[in-house]
Amino acid sequence: MFKRFRIRTMAMAGVLAAAAFAAGFGAVSLTPATLAAGPSAPATDSPTTAHPVDHWPAWIQGRPLSLHAGGALGYYFWHDETGLHLWTTTPSNRDHVFTAVLTTRGTFRDVSGQQLEPGDHYKVLDHGHRLVMQVHTYSGIDGVNFRIDGGDGVTLRLYYDGHLIDPSNIFAGRFSVHPRANPFTVER
């Protein structure tokens, strides 16, 4: 009886996370002019608002249950008590290049690499408003961990082997929710 209740509760949590995602998440478009101009931070009403506690939406909470070395090809993005995380993996033993460009009106801080090897790197640019990561992923895990001070969100542009990766290869939060588009913005 308890096991059946727990399974139903977990299924309901997944439905609620998906509903919260669908209700509060809009598509973002990428145009040739946007690419030529370079990434820009999402618009906010108050670009310097400090957020003493990270209040990110429910759909990105918790490490994706599907994340493991050599798992489904893609990006895994989530928030937990230690901050935000963007990791990659692929089941292939062949080199694949994952390039991520993240922008915010706030400031990226406490940025650290996750299992980076020679040739993998990340850099904070534009006075802390842009974070660029490029990793070569085989069947392991690579990525970055970070926090954002101020601002109302973060925009992610995620590339795989030189092209925007399909949203079905982006897994957000505990239940691996896929964003509607790539690039996409997550607001607090």
What single DSSP character describes residue 184? E
Phi, psi of 35 (to 5 degrees): -65, -45
User: Which token pair is 80?
Assistant: 């937990």
SS3 26: coil
Domain boundaries, the chain: 2-187
Instruction: Tell me: pLDDT of 121 over 90.
Output: yes
pLDDT tens-digit readout, 34-80: 333 343 333 333 333 344 446 899 999 999 999 999 999 999 999 99
pLDDT tens-digit readout, 82-112: 999 999 999 988 889 999 999 999 999 999 9
